[in-house]
Amino acid sequence: MAKLQKSIDKRNALVKATIELVNNNGFHATPMSKIAKMANVSPATIYLYFENKQDLVNQTYIDVKAEYTKYAFETYNESMSVSEGFEIIWKRIADFKLKECEEAMFLAQCDNTPMIDEPSRQEGIKHLQPLLDLWERGKKEGVIKPLSDYLLYAYSINPLSFLMIAQKRGAFQLDKKHIEQAYQAAWNSIKV
Amino acid sequence: MAKLQKSIDKRNALVKATIELVNNNGFHATPMSKIAKMANVSPATIYLYFENKQDLVNQTYIDVKAEYTKYAFETYNESMSVSEGFEIIWKRIADFKLKECEEAMFLAQCDNTPMIDEPSRQEGIKHLQPLLDLWERGKKEGVIKPLSDYLLYAYSINPLSFLMIAQKRGAFQLDKKHIEQAYQAAWNSIKV
DNA sequence: ACTATAAAAATGAACGTTCATTCTTTTTTT
DNA sequence: AAAAAAAGAATGAACGTTCATTTTTATAGT
């Protein structure tokens, strides 16, 4: 028990260090030695928890994606109306991107580079299923436009990543008013 | 004359090779030796045209960004109405992202990683000024919503990058109908 | 027009460094 | 006291960059 606990702590520390260092330097400019140092561990120890560097970053990606979607769908359930469900999910996502902005930034980098291998990318996509189901329902009920999932995602959810990154770079400050405006823009672009 | 011509050809070949290799492997997994090989040049020759690897990728970014915005604003002029101007610019951008998708993908990677240094990033942003001016005018005329530039960009232009990348990965096929729907979604989200 | 010469451009090999990973030893746990 | 976990040092490969040299181009005198 104590052993297992200790192991999980180390694994978490490694994942956390990976996120932070990859955010600041990129995957290939983040040496295993630095990840080890930040996690207070020997470089060799990483290989007790992960096969190699690629495996470390793949698993980190899947972990973060799972955390992200868990948070996004936490307060949603399928008995809600489509518009109510969308609002709740959208606002949870916005919340996550602002509060856990290291994690969100890491995901953005993963989604826009060849850093993650294809199987792990596919694995990450699966987690979004509840949202796809909601859209499907919305289309059936005639509440949202009959667009491809990619268009729905591109216009309703994805812009948040851009805003979060701009904010992280200090380009501007996202406050409550912006979030509400962004939500309205998202809903306007997909509702019938 | 012949000399200068030759030099520009080599520089272009290096920039082109950089785009292709960075798209497929990322910045740090793209060795100078491979860039040289793809451009049919000796590794040492790169250093006659660029200070170092960082300078090569910075200049490539600025080149591509300039090409992108030149294309985007080619058919636009300031005497157009805001809605007409927006439509023309938006459709040119969509066009560019589909036709020059290597270039567009390279920009997306640059904008989501620490690959480009801050001065070059700033330099790249300047090129978008005509669009910002158009938005400013739209807000003054009451044609578009009084949102921050980042919100306007996030919801009207940026989603195209997501679609282009999804298409590049083979996730779906963007056709004329999608483009029209995407344009409508973009306009709906920003118009008053 | 042709050659000699200087300058510029280009090259391949070499250097020093860094990195992912492994090996051997030590420490901790059972 | 055996097994598992962790550590630090070692290894070999790969990389960015530089160096010494060769090749190409431009210039100038005859």
* ipTM score for this prediction: 0.85
Residues B120 and B172 in one domain: yes
Q: How many domains does chain A have?
A: 2
pLDDT at B4 over 90: no
The pLDDT, as a whole number, for residue B168 is 87
pLDDT at A64 over 90: yes
pLDDT at B1 over 80: no
Residues A118 and A156 in one domain: yes
What range does the domain containing B109 cover?
Answer: 53-190
Chain B residues interacting with chain A (CB cutoff of 8 angstroms): 23-29, 108-109, 111-115, 145, 147-148, 150-151, 153-155, 158-160, 162-163, 165-166, 171-172, 178, 181-182, 185-186, 188-190
Residues A36 and A88 in one domain: no
Summarised one tens digit per residue, pLDDT across range B73-120 is 999 999 999 999 999 999 999 999 999 999 999 999 898 888 999 999
Q: CA A29 – C1' C10 distance (Å)?
A: 30
The pLDDT, as a whole number, for residue B3 is 44
The pLDDT, as a whole number, for residue A6 is 58
Residues B68 and B159 in one domain: yes
Residues B22 and B41 in one domain: yes
For chain A, the residue count is 192
Closest CA to B145 of A189, A185, A158, A159: A185
Residues A58 and A99 in one domain: yes
Contact call for B162 and A172, based on CB within 8 A: no
What is the pLDDT of chain B when averaged over all its residues? 92
Residues A11 and A61 in one domain: no
Smallest CA–C1' separation from A33: which nucleotide?
C19
CATH code at position B9: 1.10.10.60
Residue A176 corresponds to which amino acid? K
Residues B90 and B126 in one domain: yes
Residues A154 and A77 in one domain: yes
Residues A146 and A185 in one domain: yes
pLDDT at A25 over 70: yes
Contact call for B151 and A163, based on CB within 8 A: yes
Residues A37 and A58 in one domain: no
Summarised one tens digit per residue, pLDDT across range A84-128 is 999 999 999 999 999 999 999 999 989 888 899 999 999 999 999
CATH code at position B128: 1.10.357.10
Closest CA to A39 of A69, A58, A60: A60
Residues A77-83: contacts with CB under 8 Å, at least 24 apart? A78/A130, A78/A133, A78/A134, A82/A134, A82/A137, A82/A138, A82/A141, A82/A143, A82/A144, A83/A143, A83/A187, A83/A191
pLDDT at B133 over 80: yes
The pLDDT, as a whole number, for residue A1 is 38
Residues A69 and A145 in one domain: yes
